């Protein structure tokens, strides 16, 4: 059975004068998925978000939201969208609840009191929703902005730098609530951020854009595990002797000693031999563990290749 698509970009390009900002960009985001949109500064991330929500026009291609064209059927397409762009604007003199009631009245879809209570619980503001917004921390304001964005039960939630300015505890909280919203509401979440370590924890799938082109798109698990070459760390007795043995056994491998461990990069098929060589030469192997590739390392590798 074919998966439902919430948002689809079809060969989207944007040119300003003779300069191509976005170049034949195509991607799809599915229900319940957190999709991370990454790229160096100036790669076209903000321009892409603006085209998805219809703030600027496309030179070529189209964006479909639940099959409705942003270009030709804007009102029906955008009715499925909610968004938080950096720090959300709220009325400081009103309570969190009064803000949500105000935005609910402005929504083209009917928003019930039950729905307001539901989103408040979903973003963890139950105990503070009656307090004035001016007394909220930045993290609480972000969560209130998230609640406001999903009041009308959109199919697509767009977040641009949702953790901007937050301390580590606030970042961890907003990440948990974003994933909660995506999975409980089966909402497609399209998120852009420069915090790569955070995106690795938040996203199910990522796309990397550079010079306006989508140069890599993968599930998070596949992205960090797809390498043919694996890096492992070894803790053994007689560290220097083990280092020399492995250097001789695998002369083309990258190998070094860091503190009390040997770090060695080998092709996948040689990993069993590494352990075997040590054991056959009477070394005690206390630990043998794979060093996971981080999203930051993969991002730098991919963007530097291009």
Fold classification of 7-218 (topology level): Rossmann fold (3.40.50)
What digits encode the pLDDT tens for the residues 226-251? 555 677 788 888 888 888 988 888 88
Q: How confident is the model at residue 305 (pLDDT cuts 50, 70, 90)?
A: low
Q: How far apart are CA 74 and CA 66, in angstroms?
A: 12
What digits encode the pLDDT tens for the residues 28-57? 999 999 999 998 888 888 889 999 988 899
In this structure, the number of other CB atoms found within 10 A of the CB of residue 240 comes to: 9
Q: Name, in order, each residue with C-beta under 8 angstroms of 60's C-beta and a sequence gap of 6 or more.
A: 11, 12, 13, 24
What digits encode the pLDDT tens for the residues 210-228? 888 998 898 887 765 555 5
Residue 154 tokens read as 């959109």
Residue range 229-304 in CATH 1.10.10: no
The answer to whether the CB of 23 falls within 8 A of the CB of 211 is: yes
Name the residue ranges covered by the structural domains of the chain: 7-218, 229-304
Pairing of β 81-85 and β 156-160 = parallel
The answer to whether the CB of 51 falls within 8 A of the CB of 190 is: no
At 245 the three-state DSSP class reads helix
């Amino acid at each position: 059975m074919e998966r439902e698509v919430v948002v689809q970009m079809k060969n989207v390009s944007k040119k300003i004068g003779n300069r191509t900002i976005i170049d034949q960009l195509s991607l799809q985001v599915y229900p319940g998925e957190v999709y991370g949109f990454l790229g160096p500064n100036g790669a076209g991330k903000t321009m892409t978000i603006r085209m998805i929500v219809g703030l600027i026009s496309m030179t070529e291609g189209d964006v479909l939201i639940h099959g409705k064209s942003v270009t030709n059927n804007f009102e029906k397409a955008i009715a499925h969208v909610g968004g938080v762009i950096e720090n959300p604007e709220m009325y400081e003199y009103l309570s969190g609840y009064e803000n949500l009631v105000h935005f609910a009245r402005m929504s083209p879809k009917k928003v019930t009191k039950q729905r307001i209570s539901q989103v408040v619980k979903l973003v963890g503001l139950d105990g503070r929703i009656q307090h004035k917004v001016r007394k909220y921390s930045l993290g609480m304001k972000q969560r209130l902005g998230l609640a406001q964005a999903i009041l009308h039960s959109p199919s697509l939630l767009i977040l641009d730098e949702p953790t901007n300015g937050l301390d580590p505890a606030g970042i961890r909280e907003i990440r948990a609530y974003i994933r909660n919203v995506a999975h409980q509401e089966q909402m497609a979440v399209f998120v852009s951020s420069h915090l790569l370590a955070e995106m690795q924890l938040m996203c199910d799938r990522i796309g990397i854009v550079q010079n306006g082109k989508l140069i890599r798109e993968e599930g998070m698990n596949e992205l960090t595990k797809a390498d043919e070459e694996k890096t492992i760390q070894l803790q053994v007795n007689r560290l220097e002797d083990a280092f020399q043995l492995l250097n001789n056994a695998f002369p083309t491998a990258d190998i070094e000693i860091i503190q009390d461990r040997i770090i060695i990069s080998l092709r996948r098929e040689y990993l069993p031999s590494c352990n075997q060589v040590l054991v056959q030469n009477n070394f005690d192997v206390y630990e043998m563990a794979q060093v996971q590739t981080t999203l930051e390392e993969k991002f730098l590798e991919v963007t530097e290749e291009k």
